[in-house]
Amino acid sequence: MKNYLIILIIPVLLFLLSGCGQKNVGQTANDFVSDNNGNIVEITLGGFNPSTLTIKSGETVTWVNKLSSQSWPASAVHPSHNVYPESGGCIGSKFDACRGLKQDETYSFTFNQKGAWKYHDHLSAGSTGTIIVE
C-alpha cells in the first residue's frame, strides 16, 4: 500500500513544484515583494490598469487581481495564448498564468523578447492589454 501511495504522490509533488513553468503564480498582494521595478498591472472592473506598459527586456511584470471574481492573464490571442514567442506554459506560450487568480492573488512574468505583446483575460477575453518590451 505504501508503494502505491508514493507512486501517486510523486507526480503531484512534481507538478506543484514546477508551478506550470511560471513565476510567482498565486502569491497574495499582501505577500508580494516588489522586485520588478514597479511594473505592476492591476486587474480591475475597468480592465487592466495600465492597459499598456513599457518595460525593458528582462524585466518582470506582476498582475494583481483586484476583482472579487477570478482573472487569468495570458498571451493573446484567445484561446491559443501563442502570440508571445516563448513556448511552454499550459496552453501555448510561457506568458500564461495557467489558472484563474483569486482576489488579491498575483502572477508575475519576465519578458525576455523585445516587441509589443498583447494579452487578455482568458476568463473574460474582451479584457486586453499590451506590454511593450524595449
C-beta separation of 74 from 95 below 8 A: yes
CATH fold of 25-133 reads Immunoglobulin-like (2.60.40)
Domain boundaries, the chain: 25-133
Q: Please give the Cα distance from 79 to 98 (Å, whole number).
A: 12
One-letter amino acid at 42 equals E
For position 11, what pLDDT does the model report? Answer: 41
Residues linked to residue 130 through DSSP beta bridges, in sequence order? 52, 118
Q: Please give the Cα distance from 74 to 66 (Å, whole number).
A: 17
- From first to last of the 134 residues of the chain, give the pLDDT tens digit: 555 434 444 443 333 333 433 445 555 554 444 455 789 999 999 999 999 999 999 999 999 999 999 999 999 999 999 999 999 889 999 999 999 999 999 999 999 999 999 999 999 999 999 999 99
pTM: 0.76
Q: Please give the Cα distance from 109 to 58 (Å, whole number).
A: 10
For position 36, what pLDDT does the model report? Answer: 56
